[in-house]
Amino acid sequence: MTLAQAYKKQFGKVSFPFRVYDSNGNETYFETSNGYWWKCEYDSNGNETYVEDSNGYWQKYEYDSNGNETYFETSNGYWQKYEYDSNGNETYFETSNGVKRDKGKSSCEGKVVEIDGKKYELKEL
């Protein structure tokens, strides 16, 4: 039984689209007249942490203490991982299909170049 069907059984009437909100105003449930639904969970900061629909598809999200998304996963096994510096800039990104970006390792910080016999140490701007 869907949530809208349960509501109709208890109260005798329901209108579509059927929506439910939490005490913070976040939409936590949505259902159409043809029975398709999705539900969503949130953390204490209002970030989506889990979404699922009536087709069995789901998505999971995780965040660091600054609200930056650090992990994303889907029901089909795909995932993404993120890391950030203290300023909230993305420093690392990786996916389950092998894509990687490591901005920390690609930095020129501390590398030395030589021009016309003079050595210069590079600094990140």
**Eight-state DSSP code of residue 89:** -
| pLDDT exceeds 90 at position 122 | no
> 84 and 121, same structural domain?
yes
> 77 and 32, same structural domain?
no
> 61 and 122, same structural domain?
yes
pTM metric for this prediction: 0.75
What digits encode the pLDDT tens for the residues 20-34? Answer: 999 999 999 999 999
As a whole number of angstroms, the distance between CA 10 and CA 4 comes to 10
Question: Looking at the domain assignment, is residue 45 inside a domain?
Answer: no
What digits encode the pLDDT tens for the residues 83-96? Answer: 999 999 999 999 99
